[in-house]
Every structure is written in structure tokens, then in C-alpha cells.
Amino acid sequence: MSERLIPYQPMDLAQPADLVAAIRKRRGGQFINLDRMLLHSIPIAEGWNHFIGEIRNNLSLDPKLRELAMCGVAVLNGAEYEFFHHAPPFIKAGGTQAQVDALRLIGQANFPAELFSPLENDAAALTFQMTRNIKVDPDLMKRLQLGLGNTDTVELVTVIAAYNMVSRFLIALDVNPEDHPPV
């Protein structure tokens, strides 16, 4: 086993106490490896915890669409850690194992669109276009705005943008899944 270039902060890190407590509270008591890497920079860990916490817990966007986008970004960017953490919440939000498996094919010609609703297919298309092309087809945005409304369309775009940031952080710093899945 090779040594990490930048090691994870220890699981029993106690300082800064307020931030450590906030992160542990959001995670159900335990750090994940992402937190342990973020905690090398207190300002980044604070901002990340607040911003990503809002995305995970306080959007009006359907949680299934949120997690579909997160899983799609993970696949498109090769961020297995991200997929590992978001496939279970996708299923909890109403997704199926067949859909999880299908998300591994997002953006490919053999993507099984028939497993998803038209709105879910549009969310998958938006995920692909934002992640790979940056620019988004205006007709797709019109369909999403009609299907979701303004707030949820903005939230879906933000989820995709934010989780592209997450995957890039994970990959650059070689953050790997924990030995035990989080609760």
C-alpha cells in the first residue's frame, strides 16, 4: 500500500470544535474520507459543509432527481467515491437497482432511457451536457423549466455544477471510499 501524498486528517480530530461538531452532525456522527481531506483547510471545510449541506438537505428539488444528477456526474467524471455515496440515497428516494446500473451508462448510446421518466431522462441529459459540453441545449432547458419550474431548474443546475466540483476534488486528491459505508 503506497503512502498518500496528502494524508487524511484523523478520525478523532477535535479542533476546530464547532466545525468538527457541525460536520459530524450532518454526517450522523462520523467523518467520511472527504471530510477528513477537506479539514486540511478550515475555510474550505466550513464553506463546503454549509453549501453541500444545503444542497443535500434543504432543496425543494425532488431527491430522486438530485441523486440521479449526482450519480450521473460521478460516472461521467470517473468519481467512484461519489457514486458509492449517492447510489444508496438514489434508491432510498425511489430509484431502483436497475436504474442505478443504468446510470453507469449515462451519456452512452446504449443508455436505457426506457427505465426513466421523460423528466428523469431530461435530468440525465442535462447532467451529461453540463459535465461534458458545458453548454446546454436551449430546448432541453425549456423542457426542464416547464417540467420543474424556475426554482427546481435552478436547483438541478446547481446540483450538477456543485457535484462536478466535488468529483474533481475527490479525483485530484485521490479520496477513496471508506472501509465501511456511511450510515
Distances (CA, A) of 41 to 34, 38, 80, 179: 12, 6, 23, 24
> Do 100 and 160 reside in the same domain of the chain?
yes
Range of the domain at 162: 63-172
User: What does the pLDDT look like over 50-89, one tens digit per residue?
Assistant: 999 999 999 999 999 999 999 999 999 999 989 999 999 9
> Do 67 and 151 reside in the same domain of the chain?
yes
Residue 63 exposure: Cα atoms within 13 Å on the Cβ side:
14
Name the domain count of the chain: 2
User: What does the pLDDT look like over 142-169, one tens digit per residue?
Assistant: 999 999 999 999 999 999 999 999 999 9
> Do 133 and 90 reside in the same domain of the chain?
yes
Buried b (16+ CB within 10 A) or exposed e, 99-117: bbebbeebbeeebeeeebe
Q: Enter the pTM of the model.
A: 0.92
**Could you give the CA distance from residue 19 to residue 156 in angstroms, rounded to a whole number?**
27
